[in-house]
Amino acid sequence: MYVICTAGHVDHGKSTVVKALTGINPDRLIEEQERQMTIDLGFAWMDLPQIGTVGIVDVPGHVDFIGNMLAGVSSVNAVLLVVAADEGVMPQTKEHIAIMDLLQINSGVVVITKTDLVESSDWVKLVQDDVLERLSNTTLSDAPLVPFTAVSQDVRELRDVLAECLDSNVSQLDKGMPRLNIDRVFTLAGFGTVLTGTLLDGILEVGEEIEIYPIGLYGRIRGMQTYNNSIEVASPGIRLAINISGVNKSEIGRGAVVARPGQFYPTQLIDVSIQLLKEDHNLIPLRHNEQVKLFVGAAELMARTRIIGSEKLMPGDNGWLQLELSSEIVVQKGDRYILRRPSPGNTIGGGRILDENPRIRHSLYDTTTLLRFQTMSDGSPNEILLQYLETRGIVSVNSALAKSGLELNEAVSILNSMITNGEVVVLGDLDHKITLDSKQLVLSDASWQNKLEQVHDHLYGYHQRYPLRIGMQREELKSRMKIDTNTFNALIIEMANLGNVLIKESVVCLPKHEVVLRGQYKQQVDTLINQFVGDPYNTPSKSQVINMIGDDVLAVILDQNILVSIEPDLLFMLDTYEFMVEETKNHILQKGSITVAELRDMFSTSRKYALGFLEHMDSEGITLRIGDKRELL
């Protein structure tokens, strides 16, 4: 599936070319038809041999509507650059060429229109040469030129050249995270709200739950159409109209994004590379803290620049920015964007999003930040994936694959290689290799070592402060690590499996941590044990023991199996407890059952202790209560 757009100066015949190719008038607004000038985005489509259906986004050429133009060119495979032979290259032609270059649109066809209005073929040749010169050193330097006149309406050559151009174009990648940048919202009687855009990075299906970002609306896909055909499943790279239930048109605007619930996180801070246009387009340096207009996807919003590593960038310079946005947006690593000045309204430059949610404001001259930007901008796929993991900490395999900005299969291969080489650690069992369906969490080895150090420091400090405690409660350690429950559990279990920590019920400790009772604590325990030995079946209650030796010392002797706790308040010596269990079982085997009174008399204890002990045996599945008696289960 392919989507292309038009580009060129106002009144050079873009809409006329589209209508000749498709039979569809892209100027859908009454005002556009009356003024014979495209104001907003227009849409049409056609079928090309060996290519299939091709969607066309017709954009306005007038300088006043550059924002609408930019909303239409963000997700296309190729461009039809239209230049009128009677006027040649004009201001908006130049700006549109610069924008295509910044967006890295590297496929296209130049259509020379209105050749019938020019008497001299030499003049047409001059126009063609001027266009080729303008395209040199841009991504469209190899674009072929095709003549077209509104008189003949002959588009056979144009269709053939366009088909050849698209046939060599790389089709849309599927990153498994579908999103649709909304460029139009309307309602249809009997259907409700309809959203249109180009689908990127994954598939959508009828019946699926969706979220509209960043406004947080939720709905369900009632139906989908592409080029007037109803479909059940939409694949990446097609123009798509989605009928959504549960949302109102008035709540949604151009620039919002349709995706699966919880798939993205809106942000007001993005890290980007920047290429400034040269002086023939842009005469003013870009300065720190300058207010600019950001165009990304179908969104247009104000932003403030934070130049990383420099006080200003001159026309023609390359560099890095952190952009502080006036409102939240949803973007992805690798998305292309354009910056323009609000006044005077000119294009400054553009580039690629390096980090869609950096979370922190960077120091402007930090060497580490500059090196990280360099890697994200120019690094190898391995370096880019490792950089993503090191900046994100512990992430799901799905997130690592989809949000690295790499093609999915390439990312899977690289991630498996990194796991084999020890550069990446997997939390949880891995039978063979990571796949697209793997559910594990992963982190870079550097992040793993950092987490190990954090856990060790937390536990070591705790052991030093509380030497008589077995370890730190898991909930307390999780709180100190500042990570969610699922991530913490996966992390701490992996550390336990590798022998870095010990997990004892609800507490975590270092493997070498031992609790040794000395001095007054040992004396207190010895005194206590003497009491238990002196009257083994009428022992002090748990609350009494805590008053005598404290919670910490009691926890130690319970952990060392010196005493056994029987809820809610009974304690026995271990050998006493085991003797009582065996004697009780033997009594039941001989007599068939036992009552509370019989057990009380057997051990010369109180009814409270006898009842508590039998209820404990019930809970352990040793005995079963039937009326006033207990039988073996």
Looking at per-residue pLDDT, the higher value among 585 and 73 belongs to 585
Q: How many residues does the chain have?
A: 633
Strand, coil or helix: what is 223?
strand
The domains spanning 2-167 and 179-259 adopt the same CATH topology: no
What residues have CB less than 8 Å from 183, skipping those under 6 apart? 41, 71, 72, 196, 197, 198, 254, 298
Residue 518 in this model has a pLDDT that exceeds 80: no
- Taking 3-state DSSP, the helix, strand and coil percentages for the chain, each rounded to the nearest 5, stand at 35, 30, 35
What residues have CB less than 8 Å from 479, skipping those under 6 apart? none
Query: What is residue 70's predicted lDDT score, i.e. its pLDDT?
Result: 75
Least confident of 25-39, 228-242, 269-283: 25-39
In which element (H, E) is residue 453 found?
helix 445-465
Half-sphere exposure of 114 (CA within 13 A, CB side): 16
Alpha-carbon radius of gyration of the chain: 36
Here the tokens at position 462 are 């705790």
Query: What is residue 184's predicted lDDT score, i.e. its pLDDT?
Result: 87
Q: Which of 60, 76, 71, 153 is nearest to 109 (CA)?
A: 76
pLDDT tens, position by position, 534-545 = 999 999 999 999
Query: What is residue 10's predicted lDDT score, i.e. its pLDDT?
Result: 84
CA–CA gap between residue 19 and residue 12 (Å, rounded): 14
Would you place residue 61 in the very low, low, confident or very high pLDDT band (cuts 50, 70, 90)? low
Residue 389: what residue type? L
CA–CA gap between residue 89 and residue 134 (Å, rounded): 9
Q: Which residue has 């006043």 as its token pair?
A: 64
Percentage of the chain with pLDDT > 70?
95
Query: What is residue 443's predicted lDDT score, i.e. its pLDDT?
Result: 95
Query: What is residue 558's predicted lDDT score, i.e. its pLDDT?
Result: 84
Residue 577 in this model has a pLDDT that exceeds 90: yes
Residue 39 in this model has a pLDDT that exceeds 60: no
Residue 491 in this model has a pLDDT that exceeds 90: yes
Would you place residue 249 in the very low, low, confident or very high pLDDT band (cuts 50, 70, 90)? confident
Query: What is residue 250's predicted lDDT score, i.e. its pLDDT?
Result: 86
Q: Which residue has 């495979």 as its token pair?
A: 77
Query: What is residue 33's predicted lDDT score, i.e. its pLDDT?
Result: 46
pLDDT tens, position by position, 14-34 = 889 988 998 888 665 444 344
Average pLDDT score over residue span 567-592: 93
Choose which CATH entry (3.90.1150.10, 3.40.50.300, 2.60.120.1360, 2.40.30.10) describes domain 267-371: 2.40.30.10
CB atoms within 10 A of CB 494: 21
Q: Which of 491, 561, 552, 492 is nearest to 517 (CA)?
A: 552
Distances (CA, A) of 89 to 19, 144, 267, 468: 22, 16, 39, 83
Here the tokens at position 15 are 């809409």
Residue 605 in this model has a pLDDT that exceeds 90: yes
pLDDT tens, position by position, 190-207 = 778 899 898 988 899 999
In which element (H, E) is residue 299 found?
strand 299-308
- Does the domain spanning 379-515 belong to CATH 1.25.40.340? no
CA–CA gap between residue 75 and residue 238 (Å, rounded): 10
CA–CA gap between residue 75 and residue 105 (Å, rounded): 9
The answer to whether the beta carbons of residues 13 and 81 sit under 8 Å apart is no
Backbone angles phi, psi at 100, to 5 degrees: -60, -40
Query: What is residue 430's predicted lDDT score, i.e. its pLDDT?
Result: 76
Half-sphere exposure of 586 (CA within 13 A, CB side): 7
The answer to whether the beta carbons of residues 596 and 553 sit under 8 Å apart is no
Would you place residue 63 in the very low, low, confident or very high pLDDT band (cuts 50, 70, 90)? low
Question: What is the Cα 353 distance to its own chain's centre?
Answer: 14
Residue 166 in this model has a pLDDT that exceeds 70: yes
What residues have CB less than 8 Å from 221, skipping those under 6 apart? 204, 205, 206, 207, 208, 210, 242, 243, 244
Number of H helices, E strands in the chain: 19, 35
pLDDT tens, position by position, 296-355 = 998 999 999 999 998 899 999 999 999 999 999 999 888 999 999 988 788 999 999 999
Residue 588 in this model has a pLDDT that exceeds 90: yes
Choose which CATH entry (1.10.357.10, 3.40.630.30, 3.40.50.300, 1.10.287.3510) describes domain 2-167: 3.40.50.300
What residues have CB less than 8 Å from 398, skipping those under 6 apart? 176, 436, 438
Query: What is residue 42's predicted lDDT score, i.e. its pLDDT?
Result: 81
Query: What is residue 28's predicted lDDT score, i.e. its pLDDT?
Result: 56
Least confident of 21-30, 259-268, 334-343, 450-459: 21-30
Beta strand extents in 309-433 (DSSP E only): 312-313, 318-329, 336-340, 347-355, 395-396, 424-427
Instruction: Indicate yes or no: pTM above 0.85.
Output: no
Query: What is residue 461's predicted lDDT score, i.e. its pLDDT?
Result: 95
What residues have CB less than 8 Å from 387, skipping those under 6 apart? 372, 375, 376, 379
Least confident of 122-126, 316-320, 454-458: 122-126
Query: What is residue 30's predicted lDDT score, i.e. its pLDDT?
Result: 45
416: left (phi over 0), alpha (psi -120 to 50) or beta: alpha
The per-residue DSSP string of 46-109 comes to EEETTTEEEEEEE---SGGGHHHHHHHSTT-SEEEEEEETTT-S-HHHHHHHHHHHHTT---EE
Least confident of 227-231, 342-346, 620-624: 342-346
Query: What is residue 190's predicted lDDT score, i.e. its pLDDT?
Result: 75
The answer to whether the beta carbons of residues 74 and 66 sit under 8 Å apart is no
The answer to whether the beta carbons of residues 445 and 485 sit under 8 Å apart is no
Q: Which of 212, 330, 187, 186 is nearest to 268 (CA)?
A: 330
Provide the 8-state DSSP code for 562. S
For the chain, domain boundaries:
2-167, 179-259, 267-371, 379-515, 520-632
Provide the 8-state DSSP code for 250. G
Query: Which architecture does CATH list for 179-259?
Result: Beta Barrel (2.40)
Residue 277 in this model has a pLDDT that exceeds 90: yes
Q: What is the CATH number of domain 520-632?
A: 1.10.10.10
